[in-house]
Amino acid sequence: MLNAATAAVATATACVLTVSAYFMIRSLRKGGCSGCRNCEGCRRR
Amino acid sequence: MIRAALAGNPNCGKTTLFNKLTGSSQRVGNWPGVTIDRKEGRIKGADAILVDLPGIYSLSPYSPEEIVSRDFLLDESPDVIVNIVDATNMERNLYLTSQILDVGIPTVVALNMMDAVRKDGGEIDTVKLSSALGCRVVGMSALKGEGIEELIAAITEAAASGKVPEPLRLSEAAEASASRISEVLRGKVPDGQIRWYSVKALERDPLALERTGDLEGEILHIVEEMERETDDDSDSVVASDRYSAVSRAAASSTGKRGASKGRTTSDRIDRIVTDRWLGLPIFAGVMFLVYYISISTIGSWGTDWMNDVFFGEWIIPGMRAWLEGASVDPVLTAFIVDGLIAGFGAVIGFLPQMLVLFVLLVILEDCGYMARIAFVMDRVFRRFGLSGKSFIPVLIGTGCGVPGIMASRTIESERDRRITAMTTTFIPCSAKLPVIALIAGALFGGSALVALASYLVGIAAILMSGIILKKWKSLAGAPSEFIMELPAYHMPGAVTVFRSTLEKTWAFVRKAGTFILLACGLVWFLSTFSWNMVLVEDVNTSMLADMGRALSWMFVPLGWGGDWQFTVGTLTGLLAKENVVGTFGVLFGFSEVSEAGEEIWTMVAAMLTPIAGFSFLLFNLLCAPCFAAIGAMRRELGTWKATGAAVLYQCGLAYAVSLIVFQIGSLAIYGTFGVWTAVSLAVAALLVYLVVSNDPFRMSARRSGEVAC
């Protein structure tokens, strides 16, 4: 049986990982952009 | 809405001026080729859009940058051209101006770097120059923000008046021929561009002649007549006339004193730092100092504090105690502390070293020294059959391989471009630096020589690949010509250094919070459970251990295949190179060693000999880059087949170098000799043969180069 603390921490962790995955996928869709502003990608924005 | 185009020579401060005029923060590089494509921004305080074009020396269609700029000016006819001119090198820059004045568009000349001219004791009369060029000239300094308001006013005024400048006069013969060609072209090309097409056709410009259609024969007849009259090629006549005209214009504005008085401070420094013999040792010394400060001293103190105090005393024990106190499930606690925080923390622990390194590299770039490195390395690269242009992507690749590979597209020769795209990632990017720092700290007492050696090996791998790959028919050919301006040295701007460092640091942190965090969560999961989803007591019985062992036999001859953790680290490094360190953080229990006041690298040191550690480092530096860089290679090489071949070449070379270093190193240090030692000697002999054997395409490449010249 999960206690309330475990459920809350698990939810928070899942949120953090989802946000992290969102930014990772967004970066991959931009060709693995690390935001270093060296290439055209950043200049066009 | 006014549409203005910003055009100028490479590295004359165009992007700095663009940022000042538009208030944007585009990447500024103190070497040519930063602007590969055009970009747009709105001018502050004016109803105008500014288009920044790539840096060019002329409007001839010889390079992709020149074609982009020329097509924009001719086909999209902006309302105003803002021609930025480097005042410290005015005559060379005015050559482009002389061509821009032919295009038939209102023009404003932004005479940049006037502060540097004044500092060198020179002076330029902008009123006289304006009268000589027939267009408004505004003296300014983009770096210091001087003259920006006046320039914006001049742009608005030029657009409102629509006054087209008078072209610079050529010699009598050239003017007469251009005038005859104009008559032939009347009605065939836009009226405003008649002068441009006439002079370009006179120069036998292929793209201009192409647009004249069936009139080409008639035009060439006029050109040949002029060539007979002047006893010279028409393009040489026009180029010479342009130089005479800009020389007169420059002389009228600088008077007797000239733009500067003789040898400048930059010239005096360059005599030493670009010297044929001293240039390379000075470069090696500077880089050693950079790594000594960032990895061995100041940066290292910060990293120790991050690991021992920040993570070791505060974050990890605090988080563990809090989660345990709240009765959170022990598996979830372990996932957060030993998986996510351990992996993230192991990478972020290196942030202080990265921060110091970024500051120093930005200072070197901003003050102008990095451009000298490209110049010094051009000499070396040409000797090995590569163009010095290939070193610009390499310099950019020290930050991140993706833009480094993309920068290879500024190289005109397709063969040079392909070789550069294949080899740029041999230079350690910032993501590989934590791996270098980890191995240096674990096995070499934090010596800066490890970082320096990594860079030198990267450069050597590029040069060696240049020689070897040029012997393949599809990649053979003479190196491209490389021309670059050396910018005057100046004190690095605090804002530029701060902003560039912040951008690089933020990129590092963002990657740690995305790629690394998720990968470490996965590594923790795979290293904590067995195939039947049961928690394992011993990590060696986990799923990850089985996966690692399935491949680790391949790396036994390299000295680090005995422990599957290193194989896993290398594989996760394909996602992002920092993952090597993050994976070790999870697998070697960064959370536990930090709490115990130990460094993560004590665990690594216990499992590897220094020579095996160096072999591991070299393999990870030279093998296939991260997936993002492989994707960038695919875009530049065009096909997955070519990309696959490039990745295979990189992995093969990495394997060969690591094998040689480990086996011959072990023979030299420990006196061990075995089958793999013999294999490594054979591989070394093969590499030497590939490097020194005759290049079957060299003569033909030279011949074609001579014809092209």
3-state secondary structure chain A: CCCHHHHHHHHHHHHHHHHHHHHHHHHHHCCCCCCCCCCHHHHHC
pLDDT surpasses 80 at B564: yes
Q: Is B322 on the interface with A (CB under 8 A)?
A: no
Closest CA–CA distance from residue A43 to any residue of chain B (Å):
6
Q: Is B32 on the interface with A (CB under 8 A)?
A: no
pLDDT band at B206 (very low <50, low <70, confident <90, very high): confident
CB B61 within 8 A of CB B72: no
* Contact between chains at B632 and A13 (C-beta distance less than 8 A): no
Q: What is the pLDDT of residue B641?
A: 93
Closest CA–CA distance from residue A3 to any residue of chain B (Å):
7
Q: Is B631 on the interface with A (CB under 8 A)?
A: yes
Contacts of B338 in chain A (CB under 8 A): none
Pairing of strands B48-52, B39-42: antiparallel
Contacts of B403 in chain A (CB under 8 A): 36, 38-39
Closest CA–CA distance from residue A38 to any residue of chain B (Å):
6
Q: Is A29 on the interface with B (CB under 8 A)?
A: no
Q: Is A1 on the interface with B (CB under 8 A)?
A: no
Domain with residues B172-253, CATH architecture = Orthogonal Bundle (1.10)
Q: Is B525 on the interface with A (CB under 8 A)?
A: no
The CA-to-CA distance between both ends of chain B, in Å, stands at 44
Torsion of the alpha carbons at B626, B631, B635 and B637, rounded to the nearest 10:
60
Q: Is A24 on the interface with B (CB under 8 A)?
A: yes
Q: How far is CA B346 from CA B265, B434, B580, in A?
A: 45, 9, 10
Q: What is the pLDDT of residue B530?
A: 95
Q: What is the pLDDT of residue B30?
A: 47
CB B600 within 8 A of CB B652: no
pLDDT surpasses 50 at B356: yes
Q: How far apart are CA B409 and CA A39, in angstroms?
A: 11
Q: How far apart are CA B114 and CA B408, in angstroms?
A: 32
Contacts of B64 in chain A (CB under 8 A): none
* Contact between chains at B511 and A34 (C-beta distance less than 8 A): yes
pLDDT band at B480 (very low <50, low <70, confident <90, very high): low
* Contact between chains at A31 and B29 (C-beta distance less than 8 A): no
pLDDT surpasses 70 at B637: yes
Structural domain boundaries in chain B: 2-161, 172-253, 279-431+447-456+478-514, 537-704
Closest-CA residue in chain A for B504?
A36
* Contact between chains at A21 and B627 (C-beta distance less than 8 A): no
Nearest to A23 by CA among B509, B524, B585: B509
Q: Is A18 on the interface with B (CB under 8 A)?
A: no
CB B12 within 8 A of CB B58: no
pLDDT band at B533 (very low <50, low <70, confident <90, very high): very high
Q: Rounded mean pLDDT of B127-150?
A: 91
Q: Is B33 on the interface with A (CB under 8 A)?
A: no
pLDDT band at B596 (very low <50, low <70, confident <90, very high): low
Contacts of B517 in chain A (CB under 8 A): 16-17, 20
Q: What is the pLDDT of residue B525?
A: 95
Lowest mean pLDDT among B151-160, B423-432, B465-474, B670-679: B465-474
Nearest to B108 by CA among B56, B69, B147: B147
Closest CA–CA distance from residue B614 to any residue of chain A (Å):
27
Q: What is the pLDDT of residue B395?
A: 83
Closest CA–CA distance from residue B417 to any residue of chain A (Å):
17
* Contact between chains at A39 and B513 (C-beta distance less than 8 A): no
Helix B448-469 with B279-291: angle, nearest 10 deg: 130
**CATH classification of B2-161, choosing from 3.40.50.300, 3.40.1440.60, 3.40.50.2300, 3.40.1830.10?**
3.40.50.300
* Contact between chains at B26 and A37 (C-beta distance less than 8 A): yes
Reduced to 3 states (helix: H, G, I; strand: E, B; else coil), residue B462 is helix
Q: What is the pLDDT of residue A44?
A: 43
Return the percentage of chain B with pLDDT > 90, whole number: 39
Pick from A13, A26, A39 the residue to mutate for testing the B interface (most B CBs within 10 Å): A39
Contacts of B34 in chain A (CB under 8 A): 38
pLDDT band at B492 (very low <50, low <70, confident <90, very high): confident
* Contact between chains at B332 and A43 (C-beta distance less than 8 A): no
pLDDT band at B705 (very low <50, low <70, confident <90, very high): very low
Q: Is A12 on the interface with B (CB under 8 A)?
A: no
Q: Rounded mean pLDDT of B374-385?
A: 80
* Contact between chains at B327 and A31 (C-beta distance less than 8 A): no
Q: Is B511 on the interface with A (CB under 8 A)?
A: yes
Q: What is the pLDDT of residue B344?
A: 92
Q: Rounded mean pLDDT of B112-121?
A: 86
Q: What is the pLDDT of residue B478?
A: 64
Q: Rounded mean pLDDT of B95-116?
A: 92
Q: Rounded mean pLDDT of B598-615?
A: 85
Number of Cβ pairs closer than 8 Å across A and B?
Answer: 106
Structural domain boundaries in chain A: 1-30
CB B407 within 8 A of CB B396: yes
The tokens describing B623, both together, are 């093998």
pLDDT surpasses 60 at B63: yes
pLDDT surpasses 90 at B511: no
Contacts of B627 in chain A (CB under 8 A): 28, 32
- For the sheet containing B48-52, what is the strand order? B39-42, B48-52, B2-8, B80-86, B107-112, B136-139
* Contact between chains at B632 and A21 (C-beta distance less than 8 A): no
Q: Rounded mean pLDDT of B126-135?
A: 91
Q: Rounded mean pLDDT of B344-366?
A: 89
Q: Rounded mean pLDDT of B247-267?
A: 70
Higher pLDDT, B399 or B592: B399
pLDDT surpasses 70 at B708: no
Q: Rounded mean pLDDT of B168-176?
A: 90
B2-14 tens-digit pLDDT: 999 999 887 788 8
Q: What is the pLDDT of residue B257?
A: 47
Contacts of A11 in chain B (CB under 8 A): none
pLDDT band at B692 (very low <50, low <70, confident <90, very high): confident
Closest CA–CA distance from residue B509 to any residue of chain A (Å):
10
Q: Which residues contact B107 (CB under 8 A, 6 or more apart)?
A: B80, B81, B82, B83, B97, B100, B101, B135, B136, B158, B165
Closest-CA residue in chain A for B627?
A32
Q: Which residues contact B394 (CB under 8 A, 6 or more apart)?
A: B377, B404, B420, B424, B427, B459, B462
Q: What is the pLDDT of residue B12?
A: 84
Q: What is the pLDDT of residue B416?
A: 83
Q: Is A35 on the interface with B (CB under 8 A)?
A: yes
Q: What is the pLDDT of residue B175?
A: 92
Out of B399, B517, B521, name the one closest to residue A38 (CB).
Answer: B399
pLDDT surpasses 50 at B658: yes
Closest CA–CA distance from residue B217 to any residue of chain A (Å):
41
Q: What is the pLDDT of residue B137?
A: 94
Contacts of B26 in chain A (CB under 8 A): 37, 42-43
Q: What is the pLDDT of residue A45?
A: 41
Q: Which of B126-140, B446-460, B610-624, B681-695 has the highest mean pLDDT?
A: B610-624
pLDDT surpasses 80 at B27: no
Q: Is A2 on the interface with B (CB under 8 A)?
A: yes
Closest CA–CA distance from residue A4 to any residue of chain B (Å):
8
* Contact between chains at A17 and B518 (C-beta distance less than 8 A): yes
pLDDT surpasses 90 at B544: yes
Reduced to 3 states (helix: H, G, I; strand: E, B; else coil), residue B52 is strand
* Contact between chains at A35 and B503 (C-beta distance less than 8 A): yes
**Average pLDDT, rounded, for chain B:** 86
Write down the residue that tokens 């060539």 correspond to: B227
pLDDT band at B105 (very low <50, low <70, confident <90, very high): very high
